[in-house]
Structure 1
């Protein structure tokens, strides 16, 4: 895994993890790397400092004996709580999110809280059309059989 500091054409700065450098390049070429703030796909790598862990810091860092899904700090706990609230109080509409959000906004579907997934271009179009949407800082849980 590799983490890149990125910025969009609107100077929004964010970080994202990728499987590898070539995996980032492939997603970037397909315009699938988007700003979480404005959904712009005009993104570039920002300058970032290398992350060096000293021996003292390594000794203070808890070892990864807990599962990856266990929140480790205040930010992760807040995101886990937000996810729990969204999933408990909203309807998951999957890849139909853009269609459903637009229908609710236009009055063609009953108003209700929804969440789901949308391509960056779809999310950007919703925002441009005044549909109130926001990116979530987590991946929705997928139901399995």
Structure 2
């Protein structure tokens, strides 16, 4: 990935990330780059200093996977506890919660995903549900 400082014909400066120089050239040539301020598609690269890290600085750089604050660490610990002690039911959360509440499914702790209206209806029906401060982890190939 490469970050470019860009400028539109109206003089608005902004930055954007690209897969590489070829990706920028392709998008620019197709007129698919636009200024976020005015929408002008005449976008050019500005002169910028490269951002190069020495090997020593790269080793010292924190991992993006590590919590950056106490709050992030607490949320990560909460996620781990919930995932270890409940069953993920995905987008079937509202239906499964109703089945458990009605005694049609075994009682257990579950977590999953629900639309805002579905969650609101569960609360109005008296089911003990609460939103979680994180999204489920997506599995990729």
TM class by smaller structure: 0.5 to 0.7
| Structure 2 equivalent of residue 121 of structure 1 | 117
Query: How many residue pairs were aligned?
Result: 82
Q: 3-state DSSP class of the match of 1:71?
A: coil
| Structure 2 equivalent of residue 97 of structure 1 | 93
Name stretches of at least 5 consecutive residues in structure 2 with no aligned partner: 1-60
Give 4+ residue runs of structure 1 displaced > 2 Å after superposition.
Answer: 65-69, 142-145
Normalised by the size of structure 1, how large is the TM-score?
A: 0.53
Paired with 2:85 and 2:124, the residues of 1 have a C-alpha distance of 26
Name stretches of at least 5 consecutive residues in structure 1 with no aligned partner: 1-64
CA apart distance, 1:67: 3.4
The structure whose RCO (Cα within 8 Å, separation 6+) is larger is 1
Q: 3-state DSSP class of the match of 1:93?
A: strand
- RMSD, aligned CA: 1.6
Of structures 1 and 2, the larger Rg is shown by: 2
| Paired residues for 1:1-145 under 5 Å | 65-145=61-141
CA apart distance, 1:141: 1.3
Paired with 1:132 and 1:122, the residues of 2 have a C-alpha distance of 13
Normalised by the size of structure 2, how large is the TM-score?
A: 0.54
